[in-house]
């Protein structure tokens, strides 16, 4: 049915993506477990947790996206045999992480100061500002961890990030149990306890990841380049910023759509916002799997770029796309069939349960276009083509998704369901347009013999 080359690529994609997926799911489950524990405190605490994390990731995602090109850069360097250069890329990544962290903390501070302008209910706003202030402190260790994980992923050693993320999940759950409810002589802190647990967990994850990379024998060749002075990695820092910032704005456009959607849902009612947060938690958990496959595709495409093989680039992309399409079709069925049970895991509040199952169906519908568009973006990121895809994503979300969501929700009276319809359409447009970009881009690549910088479209 498949050629040996295709079977090998399927195996390689799975070997790369499964640890990435487990790592991302583990990281996502930290927020997921926070929501589960906070949900038992009060609907207002659950709503505040949702809107605060939406605002947090709206800003932080610029840095996460900005570092996402580090893995393809490292993968390309490894394929070209430039092992020491991979270590200098890590040093550049850590330096850029400090810059991103400073900017992110500044903008999050502005959000905290002007939070009341978001129009949330008074009880939700009060809880949100305190919680957001606590998790803002966790930005620096979070970004440093991301840079280290991009480095190890780019070297196709994806199990390191998986083990650290799973360890972080265990630490986070234990700390949440202690701080939220109050145990071992520590007073119950409710939502703020979840924030403190998140902060301490991110410090632990960075420390564990840094220790492993510095001491492991797996990275001896690459870490020789890590001793390079900051002045000598200036070009790598500039490339990370030039290629990374557009990738960051790609993720910002998508996250801003979901953040603003959460804010609009908050205008409707606290019950709607709580239901929206429940559904968004499941959507985020599901997205981690398609995102993990996308990252694996970007790494494999980066390796294909380093090997100057168009065939490898196309094969990696098509294999990743096939896996994601099958997965998203299965998740659609799962969310539709289990919609009530999945919602009840968070709360049995009758007002929330009157809304959440219907939203679960709509969220299931957007799984397929969401998975397709994230694979196209991963493949383009592996090719270090980030500028035009950024414009496409900005158009799909800010030009179509959000205006349409507002019209359907408030002008035509569909409420929260209308907001989710707008999200589905935005994802579909992004998937279609980025597929055109990928085919146009790869058609222009002519490096079966050799590739030059001039032949790669900027």
Query: Which positions ≥6 away from 114 have C-beta within 8 Å?
Result: none
Query: How does residue 266 score in pLDDT terms, banded at 50, 70 and 90?
Result: confident
d(CA 277, CA 289): 19
- With a cut of 50, say whether residue 326 has pLDDT above it: yes
For 186, list phi and psi in degrees, rounded to 5.
-95, 130
DSSP 187: P
Tokens at 424, concatenated = 């589905």
In the prediction, which pLDDT does 237 show? 82
User: Which among 302, 291, 297, 298 is positioned nearest to 319, based on CA atoms?
Assistant: 297
Q: How many domains is the chain partitioned into structurally?
A: 1
- With a cut of 50, say whether residue 458 has pLDDT above it: no
Residue 120: which region, alpha, beta or left (left: phi > 0; alpha: psi -120 to 50)? Answer: beta
Contact call for residues 152 and 158 (beta carbons, < 8 A): yes
Region 36-56 average pLDDT: 75
CA 126 to chain centre: 27
Would you state the torsion angle of the CA atoms of residues 348, 351, 354, 356, taken in this order, to the nearest 10 degrees? -70
* Residue whose tokens read 């701080």: 179
d(CA 296, CA 304): 12
Region 354-365 average pLDDT: 84
d(CA 59, CA 67): 14
pTM (2 d.p.): 0.76
Tokens at 336, concatenated = 């539709």
Q: Is 330 exposed, middle or buried (0-12, 13-18, 19+ CB in 10 A)?
A: exposed
- With a cut of 70, say whether residue 56 has pLDDT above it: yes
Residue 74 lies in domain: 4-455
Please tell me the number of Cα atoms within 13 Å of 77 on its side-chain side. 24
DSSP 307: T
- With a cut of 80, say whether residue 109 has pLDDT above it: yes
In the prediction, which pLDDT does 105 show? 93
How many beta carbons lie within 10 A of that of residue 250, not counting itself? 28
- With a cut of 70, say whether residue 217 has pLDDT above it: yes
In the prediction, which pLDDT does 1 show? 62
More confident of the two residues 458 and 66: 66
In the prediction, which pLDDT does 40 show? 64
d(CA 294, CA 300): 10
Tokens at 429, concatenated = 């447009």
Region 17-37 average pLDDT: 77
Query: How does residue 143 score in pLDDT terms, banded at 50, 70 and 90?
Result: very high
In the prediction, which pLDDT does 451 show? 40
- With a cut of 90, say whether residue 64 has pLDDT above it: no
Query: How does residue 448 score in pLDDT terms, banded at 50, 70 and 90?
Result: very low
Query: How does residue 231 score in pLDDT terms, banded at 50, 70 and 90?
Result: low
Q: Is the four-CA dihedral 340, 341, 346, 350 of positive or negative sign?
A: positive
d(CA 349, CA 330): 28
In the prediction, which pLDDT does 453 show? 40
């Amino acid at each position: 049915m498949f050629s040996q080359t295709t079977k090998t690529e399927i195996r390689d994609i799975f070997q790369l993506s499964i640890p990435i997926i487990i790592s991302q799911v583990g990281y996502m489950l930290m927020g997921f477990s926070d929501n589960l524990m906070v949900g038992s405190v009060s609907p207002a605490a659950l709503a505040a947790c949702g809107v605060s994390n939406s605002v947090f990731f709206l800003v932080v995602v610029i840095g996460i996206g900005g570092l996402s090109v580090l893995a393809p850069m490292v993968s390309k360097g490894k394929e070209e045999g430039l092992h020491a250069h991979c270590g200098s890329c890590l040093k550049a990544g850590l330096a850029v992480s400090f810059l991103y962290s400073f900017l992110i903390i500044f903008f999050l501070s502005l959000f905290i100061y002007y939070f009341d302008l978001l129009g949330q209910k008074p009880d939700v706003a009060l809880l949100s500002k305190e919680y957001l202030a606590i998790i803002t402190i966790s930005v620096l260790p979070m970004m440093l961890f991301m840079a280290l994980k991009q480095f190890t992923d780019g070297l196709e050693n994806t199990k390191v990030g998986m083990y650290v993320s799973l360890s972080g999940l265990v630490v986070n759950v234990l700390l949440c149990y202690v701080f939220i409810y109050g145990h071992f002589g520590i007073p119950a802190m409710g939502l703020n306890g979840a924030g403190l647990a998140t902060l301490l967990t991110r410090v632990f994850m960075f420390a564990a990841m840094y220790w492993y990379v510095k001491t492991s024998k797996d990275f001896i060749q690459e870490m020789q380049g890590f001793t390079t002075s900051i002045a000598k990695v200036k070009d790598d820092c500039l490339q990370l910023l030039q290629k990374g910032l557009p990738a960051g704005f790609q993720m910002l456009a998508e996250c801003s759509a979901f953040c603003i959607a959460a804010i609009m849902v908050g205008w409707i009612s606290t019950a709607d916002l709580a239901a929206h947060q429940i559904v968004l938690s499941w959507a985020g958990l599901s997205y981690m799997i398609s995102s993990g496959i996308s990252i694996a595709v970007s790494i494999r495409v980066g390796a294909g770029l380093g090997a100057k093989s168009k065939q490898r680039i196309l094969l990696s992309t098509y294999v990743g796309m096939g896996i994601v399409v099958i997965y998203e079709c299965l998740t659609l069925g799962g969310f539709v069939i289990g919609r009530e049970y999945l919602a009840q895991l968070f709360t049995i509040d009758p007002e929330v349960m009157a809304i959440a199952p219907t939203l679960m169906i709509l969220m299931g519908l957007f799984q397929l276009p969401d998975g397709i568009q994230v694979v196209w973006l991963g493949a383009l990121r592996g090719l270090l083509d980030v500028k035009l895809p950024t414009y496409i994503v900005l158009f799909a979300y800010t030009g179509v998704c959000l205006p349409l969501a507002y019209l359907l929700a408030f002008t035509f009276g569909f409420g929260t369901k209308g907001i989710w319809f707008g999200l589905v359409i935005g994802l579909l447009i992004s998937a279609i347009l980025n597929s055109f970009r990928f085919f146009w881009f790869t058609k222009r690549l002519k490096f079966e013999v050799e590739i030059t910088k001039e032949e790669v479209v900027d």
